[in-house]
Amino acid sequence: MSETFPRAFNTDYELLGLLGKGGMGSHVYKARQIKLDRTVALKVLDTMGDMEAEKRFYSEAQAMKELNHQNLVSIFDIGTQDDKIFIAMTFVNGESLSDMIKRKKTLDVKTATYIADKVASGLEHAHKRGVIHRDIKPSNIMIMENSEPCVIDFGISLGPGSQRLTGTGMTMGTPEYMSPEQCLGKNVTLQSDIYSLGIVFYEMLSGDPPFCGGASLAILNKHLKEKPARLKRADVPPDLESVINKCLEKKVDDRYANFAEFVRELRTVDVHGTDKKNTAIVNKLSKAERVIFLILCILPILLISLIILLTFKEVPKSPPSINYLIPSKSWTIENKVQPEKAKDIDSLLFDKNKSTAWIITREAAKASEGKLLTIRFSKPTVIYNLGIAIGDQSNKENFQKHSRPKEITIHYQDASRQTDIRTISLADKMDYQYVTWIPVEVTELSFILKSVYNESEKHFAISEIRIFGLEFDE
């Protein structure tokens, strides 16, 4: 029987549509929390007297309530309605990683590494609070509209002090992503999540998990006895494959001790700007050979630079200064959200004056899906860092008067038309806050509001955006 939407669930929630099925036979709905007028995901379970399912459902809520991380789903509310119990949590607007892999077949090395890094950071946050997910897989990782991954469905997780809700010898999880200890029905540790993320990482790069096909029992046996096949991609650095293989060690003690160690080693691998044609050659070199290769590449550059310095008498006394850039005729500023009082945006955000604030209605920002403004540069422009002053900083009273950006996502397009994304968290204080990144030539910058401090206010404000860099004549 098909369900009709929208319809009331209770006095607090209105169901807008069915998103899918969760663990334990639950259903997940897109819903509206009526009092706060916000969209949430409502996970509903009809226990029908199944005490074990009810315990697991409450265990999920207990596990999630202490979690507060941008890469983990957050819980807002838990309750009962008739014979059903429900959890209200973050509504993640995007696509699952499993759908992304189906659509793209394989992900590029940089994207796959970014997703693994962020998921690991979120799970490290959970592990520090005693929560083990136990079912990490692509369908439980959502890729949000800002390209940030978010881990969902803690339905079979183990929280601090929680008891096993499965009998001895029983296994819970998805066969393709289960660790050897899960396959044997043993107690799981945080290394089980590390193993499962290793499987997901492998799948993002190959298109399939390393152990798949056939009956579930055959897959479980592969986890216990077989090694994963080598990744057949020339653009995957050997050091990156070594990181994945360490996650997939059969013995718990041979894997990373925690996700913090995994992230540290992952970030030492260079996955940016790799030329696929040259990678295959470089990958065959040992570490010592790579050092020699690097020296041979650098030496000619140093010699040429020395010759230039000795040849030309007039050497510049200093390099071009990195200035605070101000809007010029080469800039095109498209502001999606108009300020409360009509005024040129240049004189509000780029005037070197924190006392003039860009005050915006929350409704206008919501209508533009959070996109505040886009700057397009017609001249070659290299950005070194950004400074942002949130709120109305003309005085302390005005600072508290309006909502203030808590998180902003910055989309920037480089000279090759490739788009990258950076989400920054801002402290709730009266001062400039600076964001530093590797210098990059950009053609376009977009600022998108993600969340705010003091949500009860009708307006929010930004006093200043400072862009530091170099603008060249073509």
3-class secondary-structure state, position 168? coil
Annotation says 145 is catalytic: yes
Q: In terms of Cα–Cα distance, which of 97, 107, 99, 89 is closest to 38?
A: 89
Query: Considering only CA atoms, which of 271, 131, 118, 289 is closest in space to residue 205?
Result: 271
**What are the C-alpha distances in Å from 324 to residues 157, 217, 351, 386, 471?**
49, 63, 11, 9, 10
Place of tokens 């010759």: 307
> Which alpha helices (DSSP H) does 143-233 contain, by range?
180-183, 190-206, 216-225
Distances (CA, A) of 272 to 31, 50, 267, 268, 438: 40, 50, 11, 11, 11
- Cα separation, 96 vs 94, in Å, equals 7
Query: Is residue 187 within 8 Å of 164, Cβ to Cβ?
Result: yes
For residue 445, give both structure tokens: 């910058």
Task: State how far the alpha carbon of 57 is from the alpha carbons of 43, 62, 78, in Å.
Answer: 10, 9, 10
Whole-Å CA distances, 259 to 15, 62, 125, 127, 200: 37, 22, 9, 9, 15
Q: How many angstroms from the chain centroid is the CA of residue 100?
A: 15
Look up residue 111 and give its two tokens.
């994207």
Q: Which of 3, 52, 145, 334 is catalytic?
A: 145
Closest-CA residue to 143 (of 174, 112, 164, 182): 112
- What's CA 347's distance to the chain center, in Å? 34
Q: Please identify every residue annotated as catalytic.
A: 145
